[in-house]
């Protein structure tokens, strides 16, 4: 069963074709990576999936349900979670309060002037579980603005997980991270349950090859390659257009 299906999606901007007849299917529980050089259309495709912009043509399905006409909130309610390159955290609040707000929103617990989210046992319990899953227990009461960059990106994933998604989109989850922070993010993604489908847009090829079951390669708004990491490694067109012979040789030696 497919978790995400994209059928012949095209996006035009005032005569510029950002995406041209893009089609792909991501199976339920799959780890799919999407790669390509700058300007390939990766971010545009993510915007289309999340509902931040609409396709010029084509259809998008989540669990076989068409979501092309749906709003962002409606897609989230159907099981679509995502993170973008720029975080959407509340920097003045603590880590645990950021998680409580996300859980509270999903559970549709109305804000009460005299009863903060911390007083709801079900919200507290789920937020505490997320803290442990994210490895942020030691900084639970710290204001988000005091966290290291890598910890903030991890928390952003936590807010997406708080929505209990069926499909999680991660846009450049390791961008700007140190090697140690990148390893921690990879470990977090690897530990996600296989009941959760994950689509990752990523430039770091080590991250891509370590996490992906399947890889889709975009170039100038078109899909120019799809397959397993092993197949993508030896695809001559992918080597020429994106990865480069030297970089691919280095990846094969690791």
DSSP run (H or E) holding 225: strand 222-227
> Angle formed by the axes of helices 179-190 and 149-161, to 10°?
20
Q: Give the pLDDT confidence score for residue 68 in this predicted structure.
A: 95
SS3 71: coil
Please list, in sequence order, all residues whose beta carbon lies within 8 angstroms of the beta carbon of residue 77, skipping any fewer than 6 positions away.
none
Measure Cα distances from 203 to 107, 151, 208 in Å: 34, 20, 8
Task: Output b/e per residue, 164-198; b: 16+ Cβ within 10 A.
Answer: ebbbbbbbbbbeebeeebbbbbbebbeebeeebbb
Res 62: pLDDT? 96
pLDDT at residue 172, as a whole number: 93
Q: Is the pTM of this model over 0.75?
A: yes
Q: Decide: 222 and 24 in contact? Cβ < 8 Å.
A: no
Q: Averaged in consecutive runs of 10 residues, what is the pLDDT profile of the chain (254 residues)?
A: 90 91 96 92 94 96 95 93 81 94 74 52 90 95 96 95 94 94 96 95 93 95 94 87 55 56
Q: How are the residues of the chain apportioned to helix, strand and coil, as percentages rounded to the nearest 5? A: 40, 25, 30
Query: Which residues are 22's β-sheet partners?
Result: 9
Predicted confidence at residue 238, as pLDDT, reads 85
Q: Per-residue DSSP letters for 92-131?
A: TSBHHHHHHHHHHHHHTPPPBTTB-GGG-HHHHHHHHHHH
Alpha carbons 20 and 250: distance in angstroms, whole number: 32
Q: In the prediction, which pLDDT does 149 show? A: 94
Identify the pLDDT of residue 209. 94
């Amino acid at each position: 069963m497919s978790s995400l299906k994209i059928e012949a999606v095209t996006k035009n901007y005032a005569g510029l074709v950002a995406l041209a007849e893009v089609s792909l299917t991501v199976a339920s529980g799959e780890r799919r990576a999407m790669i390509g050089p700058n300007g390939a259309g990766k971010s545009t495709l993510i915007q289309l999936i999340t509902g931040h912009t609409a396709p010029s043509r084509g259809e998008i399905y989540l669990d076989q349900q068409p979501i092309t006409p749906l709003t962002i909130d409606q897609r989230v309610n159907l099981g679509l979670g995502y993170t973008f390159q720029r975080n959407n955290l509340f920097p003045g609040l603590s880590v645990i309060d950021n998680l409580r707000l996300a859980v509270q929103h999903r559970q549709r617990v109305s804000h009460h002037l005299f009863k903060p989210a911390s007083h709801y046992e079900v919200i507290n319990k789920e937020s505490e579980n997320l803290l442990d899953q994210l490895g942020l227990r030691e900084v639970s009461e710290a204001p988000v603005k005091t966290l290291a960059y890598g910890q903030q990106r991890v928390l952003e994933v936590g807010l997406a997980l708080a929505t209990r998604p069926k499909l999680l989109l991660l846009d450049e989850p390791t961008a700007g991270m140190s090697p140690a922070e990148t390893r921690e993010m990879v470990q977090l993604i690897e530990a996600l349950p296989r009941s959760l489908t994950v689509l990752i847009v990523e430039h770091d090829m080590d991250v891509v090859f370590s996490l992906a079951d399947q890889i889709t390669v975009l170039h100038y708004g078109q899909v120019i390659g799809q397959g397993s990491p092993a197949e993508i490694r030896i695809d001559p067109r992918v080597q020429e257009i994106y990865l480069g012979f030297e970089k691919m040789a280095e990846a094969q030696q690791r």
